[in-house]
Chain A
Amino acid sequence: QSALTQPRSVSGSPGQSVTISCSGTSSDVGAYSYVSWYQQHPGKVPTLIIYGVTKRPSGVPDRFSASKSGNTASLTISGLRPDDEADYYCCSYAGSYITVFGTGTKVTVL
């Protein structure tokens, strides 16, 4: 099972929007509605920001939104803030009780 493919980095200015793609296959992202996203600040523990493709846990601001089309999931951060600067990972169920993470994307706030 290969890792899901994410861009290495994306950047934007404060207040702008950035979108991170997560490319999988018809056996993982394309097959199930079990895509989640995690934010990880340097040296910190990953935290859940999206689950079930589009759902936000309580406490996660609605500036974070997500979607899926075919084999690609996407995370959009609107109204970019300095504290959004972090690594972001997508994650998907891949069948047969296997979970696969993405390669990770570093978001830089310019």
Chain B
Amino acid sequence: QVTLRESGPALVKPTQTLTLTCTFSGFSLSTSAFYVSWVRQSPGKALEWLAFVDWDDDKYYSPSLKTRLAISKDTSKNQVVLTMTNMDPADTGTYYCARMLHHENYFDYWGPGMLVTVSS
């Protein structure tokens, strides 16, 4: 059974760095079958892809946010970590981690999401 779950702070202050952890089970990031990706959704807005990491530790980012994002994985812990620097109230939203299939580019399993509010 594939599961993913996001964890991290629910509230961050403007200019702070957000660190979110995705803990997953039911698959491995040590094989060339899957990626783990982050997607966010501001309140009432559309989904926005942020980043993904693959089994080979290659990392890919949304061009519009790449200067603020860093993604990493800990295969032994089945975790993927996303950091986003210089948080702004416009970054408020629900952050999802999701599994992607290698070379298929779709998200087949999603975590429940983590609501992050940016406010002083």
Interface string of B101-118 (1 = CB under 8 A from A): 000111110111100000
Complex interface: chain A residues within 8 A of B107 (CB) = 36, 38, 46, 48, 91
Complex interface: chain B residues within 8 A of A36 (CB) = 105-107
Interface: B15 (CB within 8 A): no
Q: Is the CB of B105 within 8 A of A101?
A: no
User: Which residues 16-58 of B have a CB within 8 angstroms of A?
Assistant: 37, 39, 45-49, 52, 58
Interface string of A51-79 (1 = CB under 8 A from B): 11000010000000000000000000000
Expressed in whole angstroms, the Cα–Cα distance for A89 and B48 within the complex equals: 10
Number of interface residues of A (CB under 8 A): 26
Instruction: For the complex formed, measure the closest distance between the CB of B83 and the CB atoms of chain A, giving whole angstroms.
Output: 19
Q: Is the CB of B46 within 8 A of A51?
A: no
The chain B residue sitting closest to A105, CB to CB, is B46
Complex interface: chain A residues within 8 A of B52 (CB) = 97, 99
Complex interface: chain A residues within 8 A of B110 (CB) = 45-47
Which listed segment binds A: B59-67, B71-79, B84-92? B59-67
Taking a contact as CB atoms closer than 8 A, the residue among B48, B49, B96, B105 that contacts A45 in the complex is B96
Q: What number of residue pairs across chains A and B have CB atoms under 8 A from each other?
A: 65
Please name 19 further chain A to chain B contacts, defined as beta carbons within 8 Å, in addition to the given A91-B49, A91-B105, A104-B46, sorted by A numbering.
Answer: A1-B62, A3-B48, A38-B107, A46-B47, A48-B108, A51-B106, A52-B106, A91-B106, A93-B105, A97-B60, A98-B49, A98-B62, A99-B37, A99-B49, A101-B46, A101-B49, A102-B46, A104-B45, A104-B47
Interface residues of chain A, those whose CB is within 8 Å of chain B, are: 1, 3, 32, 34, 36, 38, 40, 45-48, 51-52, 57, 89, 91-93, 97-104
